[in-house]
Amino acid sequence: MLFNYTIHMSLNEAAYVALIVIELLILMSTAAYSVFLVYSWLKGAPFVGTESKELDDIFSSIPITADMTFLDIGCGDGRVVINAVKKYKVSGVGVDINPILIWSARLSASWQKLHNIKFYISDIERANFSKADIIYIYLFPKFIGKLSKKIQNEVHHGSYIISHAFKIDYLEKYLLKTVKGKKFKTYIYLFT
């Protein structure tokens, strides 16, 4: 009977243990989220969402049709590509390195019953640009610069590149228009 233990806890003790477990889970989730946010920042940009009103102004400045494919590089929680898919019925693809944000984007798209959208956990430099008709980029200039060869080699004739907040110097000859926003300008390029 040396190893026969019986654990008896009062209701208060059980509630206390449950509370500690919940606090630990929250702490671990917050730590994981923070680590992935820092990692995202180091691999492209920190997660900063774009407001719907700004998206309406940006999207209305180019002709978007349902047969197009919209690619959001560094999509975060997917709000930009989800907005495009809902409003214009395009096919959507979102790419981000942060698995927590991709999980959130997938959940949001699922709740909204959007079936023509996919999200991938990937480094932005591995994304396939060749099938995209519209590419949305909201990254630091350093990382936009790293995409130079990829953009010039993979983007097809007639594709739009939308760069929120940062001008893309190596695409200057393709600049179609600039859209003024509340905080940032958005640069729209037509790849020809």
Domain ranges of the chain: 52-190
Q: What share of the chain is helix, strand, coil (3-state, %, to 5)?
A: 45, 20, 35
Give mean pLDDT, residues 166-170: 95
Integer CA distances (angstroms), 70 to 17, 22, 87, 147, 177, in order: 48, 39, 12, 17, 19
pLDDT of residue 80: 96
Q: How confident is the model at residue 73 (pLDDT cuts 50, 70, 90)?
A: very high
Please, are residues 146 and 125 in contact by the beta-carbon 8 Å criterion? yes
Going by C-alpha positions, the residue among 127, 176, 177 that lies closest to residue 153 is 127
Please, are residues 70 and 84 in contact by the beta-carbon 8 Å criterion? yes
Average pLDDT along the chain: 86
Tokens, residue 132: 């995209």
pLDDT of residue 42: 60
Q: Which of 15-19, 56-60, 69-73 has the lowest mean pLDDT?
A: 15-19
Give mean pLDDT, residues 142-167: 95
Task: Tell me the pTM.
Answer: 0.78
Q: How confident is the model at residue 140 (pLDDT cuts 50, 70, 90)?
A: confident
Q: pLDDT tens-digit profile of 22-70?
A: 777 776 766 665 655 555 556 555 556 677 789 999 999 999 999 999 9
pLDDT of residue 149: 95
Alpha helices in the chain (DSSP H): 11-43, 52-59, 79-88, 99-111, 141-146, 148-154
Residue 12 has pLDDT above 60, yes or no: yes
Report the CATH superfamily, name and number, of domain 52-190.
Vaccinia Virus protein VP39 (3.40.50.150)
